[in-house]
Amino acid sequence: MPRVRKVAVIYHGLVPEAGVLARRLVQRFRTAAQWTAMDAEAARKAKGLADCELFVTIGGDGTILRAMHIAAPLAVPVLGLNMGRVGFMSEVDAENALDEIEWYLDGNARIEERAMLQVESAALRGGPQHALNDVTIGRGSAPRIVNLRTHINGVHLTNYRSDALVLATATGSTGYSLALGGPVMDPESDDILLKPVAAHMSLQGGFVLPVSTVIEVKFEGPEAGVLSVDGYVDMPLRPGQVVTVRTSPYRARFLRRHSTAEFYASVTRRLGMRQESLPRRRQGRQARA
């Protein structure tokens, strides 16, 4: 890609260090970094970004999710600077950002595209929503299971009696779904992961569904529930309302330095499951000690 000329910076509003780094980036790359906002107010201030060439986020995966809801319809890539705990979607550690970001602005990075989900329901205001991570359909504040009548491409699958049902992208497979014991999917897969939460007398393992799948879930209560998109767009669900989920026409675009294969090493590293190998000389000294 060519040299980036116009950058929007979105930072975590509750992390003071994120705001400090955002200001330092604007000062250092004044000709490129022309638009800055906190993540919670970015959507409200997003008018006039059609000619933006890159979104830089400072925070964790939540900040990236908010930014991607703006960037994906514009087909603008996102570069994540990580200040979070795990940061599966982030590319650069914030402490190294000032030294490394120039390489990305010079157009050296590749663009990695990822699938998103389109969510439609009468419960949503303003039309369909688009999720990068996941869609959750489940109970509200009442601590009781709900009935989720689920159809796959018009065919009745089952009635999940559970706390909730999670529909995740490959990107979202390292989020809520992973905490539920779901599999980790290749980040560039377009498949859809369906995973129940605490299902009673049902298939706990869930399903991996092809990109063309249309999932319809009828929320049958008995009390009001919640429809959650990417964990921060939450809308009440009334008994009888239907949620339809399919692959979104939008694609999430990320700037990457390394190939997709690097993702597999980063998964275990970010989860604390693998320690980096020590340099050979140092290993030898320790062996002799």
Active site residue 51: no
- Asked if residue 289 has pLDDT above 50, the reply is no
**pLDDT, position 136:** 97
Strands 78-82 and 54-59 come out as parallel
- Entry pTM: 0.88
Q: How many angstroms separate the CA atoms of 183 and 270, rounded?
A: 16
Overall average pLDDT of the 73-98 stretch = 89
Selected from 2.60.200.30, 3.40.309.10, 2.40.10.10, 3.40.190.10, the CATH number assigned to the domain covering 116-249 reads 2.60.200.30
- Asked if residue 35 has pLDDT above 60, the reply is yes
131 CB burial (10 A radius; 0-12, 13-18, 19+): buried
The reply to whether omega before 210 is within 30° of 0 (cis) is no
Q: How many angstroms separate the CA atoms of 283 and 277, rounded?
A: 9
Residues in the chain: 289
- Residue-wise DSSP of the chain: -PPP--EEEEE-TT-HHHHHHHHHHHHHTTTTEEEEEEGGGTTTT-TT-TT--EEEEEESHHHHHHHHHHHHHHT--EEEEE-SSS-SS--EEGGGHHHHHHHHHTT-SEEEEEEEEEEEETTSTTS-EEESSEEEEEE-SSSS-EEEEEEETTEEEEEEEESEEEEE-TGGGGTHHHHTTPPPPPTT---EEEEEES-SSS-SS-EEE-TT--EEEEE--SS-EEEEETTTEEEEE-TT-EEEEEEEEEEEEEEESS-TTHHHHHHHHHTT--PPPPPHHHHHHHHH-
CB of 76 closer than 8 Å to CB of 87: no
Strands 146-152 and 110-121 come out as unpaired
> What pLDDT, in 10s, does the model give residues 209-268?
999 999 999 999 788 999 999 998 999 999 999 999 999 999 999 999 988 878 887 777
> What pLDDT, in 10s, does the model give residues 105-140?
999 999 999 999 999 999 998 899 999 999 999 998
CATH 2.60.200.30 in the chain is located at 116-249
Q: Which CATH class is domain 7-108?
A: alpha beta
Q: How many angstroms separate the CA atoms of 273 and 265, rounded?
A: 10
**pLDDT, position 30:** 75
Predicted confidence band at 36 (pLDDT cuts at 50, 70, 90)? Answer: confident
Query: Could you give the count of Cα atoms lying within 13 Å of 234 in the half-sphere of its Cβ?
Result: 9
Which is more confidently placed, 274 or 263? Answer: 263
- The one catalytic residue among 39, 51, 61, 99: 61
CB of 256 closer than 8 Å to CB of 111: yes
CATH 3.40.50.10330 in the chain is located at 7-108
Q: Single out the residue of 169, 203, 209, 205 nearest to residue 185, CA to CA.
A: 169
Q: How many angstroms separate the CA atoms of 89 and 86, rounded?
A: 9
> What pLDDT, in 10s, does the model give residues 4-17?
888 989 999 889 99
